[in-house]
A and B are shown apart, each in its own frame.
Chain A
């Protein structure tokens, strides 16, 4: 099927080349980082994880969100999603690829990466995260590819795929749970030290992933002959609506516990994010923007009249996507490190090269997604022709 990826229009190739150039520029910055060290980023002794790990966390969510089309179709036999499960699975592949790249660019000694496998350490959550992420990547490649191939040949997919598909569903929940466990099991980091972190991650994932999927479906319908379907998009929209409500609810639960108990170690981080602490508050406008966007998303998605209008729906999905991105991709990681365990306030802001590398990784992800979706669309057009 790979040959389908190289038979494309001028526009397709233009897009691919543009992505390659952006990825190349990002790689250039990465070479600089390799030479100098992570000192070219904005990270510091106090904020020792920054933009890379935050993007990683957000994208694990996007990958896990793909399961929201797989689950209804395979477990509840919701036929309509049969048309688009492949889009969810391939989105997951692109997202996990970016996750792994973000971990890679965050390492101080990337050449020693294999030490994680050579000296496996079951007490380390990072060890398990590596296993579940790679496992999820392979599951989706195997399932997605074979199911699509079967569809192309107009046969039922192989029997042995079924157990893998069933495994992939809890596995999707697993990747984001384990990713949350990276943070929420650390003593002395009051912002993350909460059992609601994993559920909150999942809720925001099940909002952000399907929201992106809706936008992709609308885009695919516009530029190709394959229509993912009105019903499908509406069902996805309901999923986003519930998930974003739950996400905000979980956050408010956290806010209650923190501000009613008034334990400073837990409270100061949220204060820093939403009000500023000791005169430092560079994230304050972002965090409120995120909150407002998520509420706009809720209003537009819960209300059937606005949800059914696809233009408004697109706006709502953009709001949800950006809102959850700020929440996780900006606030979640910095917020945990400020104030520091010794209660110093040292703020973090990404540097120019750091953003360059980040955009480069996103370009690689977009490239993987483009190629995979190109194949899907070609197969779907072929089958319907």
Chain B
């Protein structure tokens, strides 16, 4: 993450014009501190990477029955509430049709299989995430391994990150989610009303040496690994298959790839 560090220094330099040097150093210091604090209890089995990424093989996920267990796995371990009111919905990973998952890429004459295929969408863990740029409190921040994380205790619920995310990956707790959680998983925090949340690439599982829950539940349809490592499984798949990403023209650098 050398480049993002450099970028940050540049920005800090610009703001120094307005703020004087000292507070800027404090800004810098506090973000450093946040980076360290945010590490979820690291065990020696923790999986590490330069940039975590995901390759979804949509050829292996063709029906609603294929994707449902994957979505449920995430919902269950992350205490995702099941709201009746669609406005209040919380979604970390869900299915969309091609034209919604890839707006702008839809063809008038589209392969029939693709047209109604259930595409799994989730936070892209963007390399250059606009949500992080927008957040006024660093409650959304990027870790060294590329994962874009949320600090539920710092978020003020301004929802600037939701406006900034071009993938609709974020959800806001419009009301207390706790009464709507079917089975509570005590290993993962529940959220309170008024904060934003999204997929965290299962950072809490990576920290104890486990792969993300959706990957485990996918029967090999979803691969997960280090995009920075040329020998990793994901890089292998990307070498061998033609893949697409969502709206990569916006320059956010999505880390989720799709084999179609």
Contacts and interface: CB of A to CB of B under 8 A. Distances in A.
Given A37-B175, A44-B86, A122 B12 contact: yes
Contact of A183 (B15, B132, B163, B166): B163
Given A108-B194, A123-B11, A344-B100, A44 B88 contact: yes
Contacts of A337: 163
B154 A342 contact: no
Interface string B18-30: 0100011001001
Given A39-B85, A122-B15, A187-B252, A48 B172 contact: yes
Contacts of A103: 158
A353 to B, nearest CB: 13
Interface stretch (B42-50, B136-144, B208-216): B136-144
Nearest to B16: A122
Interface stretch (A21-29, A112-120, A310-318): A112-120
Contacts of A125: 134, 160
Interface in B163-194: 163-168, 171-176, 192-194
Contacts of B137: 112, 115-116, 118-119, 121
Given A48-B163, A130-B136, A264-B104, A119 B154 contact: yes
Given A39-B88, A124-B136, A186-B130, A342 B158 contact: no
B78 interface: no
A162 interface: no
A127 interface: yes
Contacts of A188: 130, 165-167, 247, 250
A130 to B, nearest CB: 7
A41 B87 CA distance: 10
Contacts of A123: 11, 132-134
A186 B167 CA distance: 12
B204 interface: no
B87 A49 contact: no
Given A44-B87, A119-B30, A112 B156 contact: yes
Contact of A187 (B121, B130, B157, B160): B130
A126 interface: yes
B166 A124 contact: no
A44 to B, nearest CB: 4
Nearest to A131: B18
A129 B155 CA distance: 18
Contacts of B220: none
B15, B99, B121, B157, most chain A CB atoms within 10 A: B157
Among A42, A48, A264, A343, find the residue whose CB has the most chain B CB atoms closer than 10 A: A48
Interface in B106-164: 121, 130, 132-139, 154-160, 162-164
B235 interface: no
27 contacts: A37-B174, A37-B175, A37-B176, A38-B193, A39-B85, A39-B87, A39-B174, A43-B174, A45-B168, A106-B158, A108-B158, A108-B159, A108-B172, A109-B192, A115-B154, A122-B15, A122-B19, A122-B24, A123-B133, A126-B134, A126-B158, A127-B136, A186-B130, A186-B163, A187-B252, A188-B165, A342-B168
Interface of A: 36-39, 41-46, 48-49, 103, 106-110, 112-113, 115-116, 118-127, 130, 182-183, 186-189, 264-265, 336-337, 340-344
Closest 10 CB pairs of A and B: A108-B157, A188-B166, A108-B194, A44-B87, A39-B174, A122-B15, A37-B193, A39-B175, A126-B136, A124-B136
